[in-house]
Amino acid sequence: MAAILKGNPKKRMALVTGRAYPEQAEATAECLGIEPLETTAYDFANGEMYVRYTQPVRGADVFVLQSHTDPINKWIMEQLLMIDALKRASARSITVVAPFLGYSRQDKKGQGREPITARLMFDLFQTAGADRIMTVDLHASQEQGFFDGPVDHLTAMPVLLDYVKNSMPLENATIVSPDAGRIKVSERWAAKLGGLPLAFIHKTRDVTRPNHAVAHGIIGEVRERDCVVVDDMIDTAGTICEAVRTLREAGAKSVTLVATHGLLSGPAIERLKGCGAREIVLMDTVPVPQEKRLPNMTVLSVAPLLAAGIRSVFESGSVSNLMNGLPEDMRPRNMYAA
């Protein structure tokens, strides 16, 4: 179902979704007061995919929402097919909405003869016909330069900040960066929480071994402090659990883990279960099924943030204002992911 929001009455907006996480699209559409456009999609026997829209999209501003979750390569390919179908159906504009952008951590060459896969991802979307890309908390914000067009880089920080403010006392809190690369983000967290102390964990990563890092020490005071570790993603949870162990050994009173993308691959749940964190706070940029949810895990909905971003783009409003928090009409929405 296409929708006309306030602004130019001659403009039409449509939200379409792939099969990776349709519940996310439904929640986002509900925040916008519309319904996702009906799509026919299926697999052939050999694994090839077919996509077709059941309603006209000619002249519409279309937002293509797809979660890059497991199996990640299949869902990226499906999104590319959806973009191509929209281009050939004469959509006015095509915006890729990828709450978690697959391959974004591969943004530079650590060794010779490596690809820069994050750049390839942006190239693939552009070649397929995307005019614009919207995503949440890239691994490195400078990746926006990989796309020759507008990139709306949303951040989950306001949503996560609101939750942390209301869920724990902060008078004894310290914001902890899990490595040197996240210091700037952690500084913003500390500032927005009233100038809290900041610490960071010095660690090294073996580029020849995926999902492997070793913590060597902590810079900053964490003894008898309630530590809040802020990261962009939790994948296999090896490095983040090492951070909890390091902080505990340094005398931290409690450790709260906060991350935008809860990929939770492989042994992640078993590791998190025994790591000793007070609470684990995630966004549902990828689905977090009930069987992976722990008693001390909170999963917040990214739908109001995506809806606010989509509405701002469609109405030619300011997306950067969302850095300061969600619009008033989006805040009462259900903050917890289903």
Catalytic residues: 203
Q: Which of 284, 293, 289 is nearest to 335 (CA)?
A: 284
Task: Bin 103: left if φ > 0, else alpha if -120 < ψ < 50, else beta.
Answer: left
The region that residue 130 occupies, defined by phi over 0 for left and psi between -120 and 50 for alpha, beta otherwise, is beta
Neighbouring-strand partners of residue 262: 234
| Alpha-carbon gap, residue 338 to 336, rounded angstroms | 6
- The closest of 41, 102, 27, 45 to 71, measured between CA atoms, is 102
H/E segment holding residue 93: strand 93-98
Place of tokens 């974004």: 104
- CA–CA separation, 82 and 41 (whole Å): 9
**147 in the Ramachandran plot: left (φ > 0), alpha (ψ -120 to 50) or beta?**
beta
- The number of angstroms, rounded, from the C-alpha of 137 to the middle of its chain's C-alpha atoms is 5
Rounded to an integer, what distance in angstroms lies between the CA atom of residue 213 and that of residue 266? 16
